[in-house]
Structure 1
């Protein structure tokens, strides 16, 4: 089975689910599948880096933001994620930034400054549509998409057994993608434990 784009995914999801009458619902199933995948997947292909300009220590997050991976001050120093209550204790504009917190669709950095930060973050999977028929996930792991769609179709059918089987296959496919991602990122790197050793 070969999946390359939106149209072939639609055909294969219909075949695998045994339903050839759901094409009109396909965009809905696809949106639900991508919503669920965005909640659980965190792989290198999802990483983006942007400069975020700050005004009084606050900047807008990218529209496709899911989770921060690294936040760097303008100096290049890494900032720590802090609880909002602790961050609020640093309301002055004096000194170098020490940390950040995500509040809604904004990032707050304290002490308040008006400089750029560099944000590396996990971005949402670019949605597949008829007008944008490909993305990194359909190229790297079409099975993840396929099983996620079959699961959504089974949920719509109210077929718990089929939904459970598809969900198990989806989990296996995501685990396989995660393992490949770990190998890509770390290869045969040695584990180094920081701090004092006896």
Structure 2
């Protein structure tokens, strides 16, 4: 059957599993599958997970968006729009303790549920920024349709079926579902990698015969 939304996904999984006693468990398999896909697809840097938000801050802390997974770029837009560099919290501590600053903000880190600007501009003025980041997949149980089920319904099916196999301790099926998932995720990763590469100028080439 064609899988196009949450309802058809649940129906497809019920047919695959052919276990009436698991009907109430199927939504939980989808939720568990989404949790793992969020981590794996963000690591694979799948471009459909990318979004951006514009805002302003008057302090060194910028609250993370509710659907944030991992940063892509952060630009401070008061003068230059060049991205500043993401660094670890350990490196941030070293920079803070050095006490050296030329008034430029070059770095940021993640602290709890906030972005922290390292050596932020002073003066209390409103500082505009643009954050590009990888966002969580919209939960299908709430959204009914999202970009992933439109782009790759097969990934939703095999990922949820894998969770069902783990629940049932069906060791024979687990390697099969894992292999299918890995193939689909790798194909999506390669597609995104290619689409995010800078594209050079296109030139016409003369075709010769003989």
Q: Does the alignment reach a TM-score above 0.5?
A: yes
**3-state DSSP of counterpart to 2:21:** coil
**3-state DSSP of counterpart to 1:68:** strand
Go from structure 1 to structure 2 and tell me whether the alpha carbon gap of 1:187 and 1:170 turns closer, same or farther (over 3 Å shift): farther
Structure 1: distance between partners of 2:20 and 2:102? 64
1:3-53 CA deviation, whole Å, 9 max, x = no partner?
100011111122223334322112211111010001110211100111243
Instruction: Flag the structure with larger Rg.
Output: 2
Go from structure 1 to structure 2 and tell me whether the alpha carbon gap of 1:126 and 1:93 turns closer, same or farther (over 3 Å shift): farther
Structure 2: distance between partners of 1:39 and 1:184? 21
Deviation at 1:170, TM superposition (A): 1.0
8 Å Cα contact 2:105/2:118 also seen in 1: yes
Once superposed, which parts of structure 1, at least 4 consecutive aligned residues long, lie more than 4 Å away? 91-94, 187-190
Match of 1:11 in 2: 11
8 Å Cα contact 1:17/1:154 also seen in 2: no
Structure 2: distance between partners of 1:31 and 1:145? 10
**3-state DSSP of counterpart to 1:50:** strand
Match of 1:54 in 2: 57
Structure 1: distance between partners of 2:177 and 2:6? 19
**3-state DSSP of counterpart to 1:21:** helix
8 Å Cα contact 1:147/1:169 also seen in 2: yes
Deviation at 1:189, TM superposition (A): 5.0
Structure 2: distance between partners of 1:103 and 1:181? 28
Which of 142, 146, 151 does residue 153 from structure 2 map onto?
142
Structure 2: distance between partners of 1:189 and 1:14? 48
Q: Does residue 86 in structure 1 map to residue 98 in structure 2?
A: no
Q: Residues 1-198 of structure 1 correspond to what in structure 2 (within 5 A)?
A: 1-41=1-41, 42-74=45-77, 75=79, 76-88=81-93, 89-90=95-96, 95-113=103-121, 114-129=126-141, 131-186=142-197, 189=200
Deviation at 1:94, TM superposition (A): 6.4
Go from structure 1 to structure 2 and tell me whether the alpha carbon gap of 1:161 and 1:187 turns closer, same or farther (over 3 Å shift): farther
**3-state DSSP of counterpart to 1:161:** coil
8 Å Cα contact 2:88/2:109 also seen in 1: yes
**3-state DSSP of counterpart to 1:102:** strand
Go from structure 1 to structure 2 and tell me whether the alpha carbon gap of 1:180 and 1:85 turns closer, same or farther (over 3 Å shift): closer
Go from structure 1 to structure 2 and tell me whether the alpha carbon gap of 1:58 and 1:124 turns closer, same or farther (over 3 Å shift): same
**3-state DSSP of counterpart to 1:51:** strand
Q: List alignment gaps of at least 5 residues for structure 1.
A: 191-198
8 Å Cα contact 1:52/1:60 also seen in 2: no
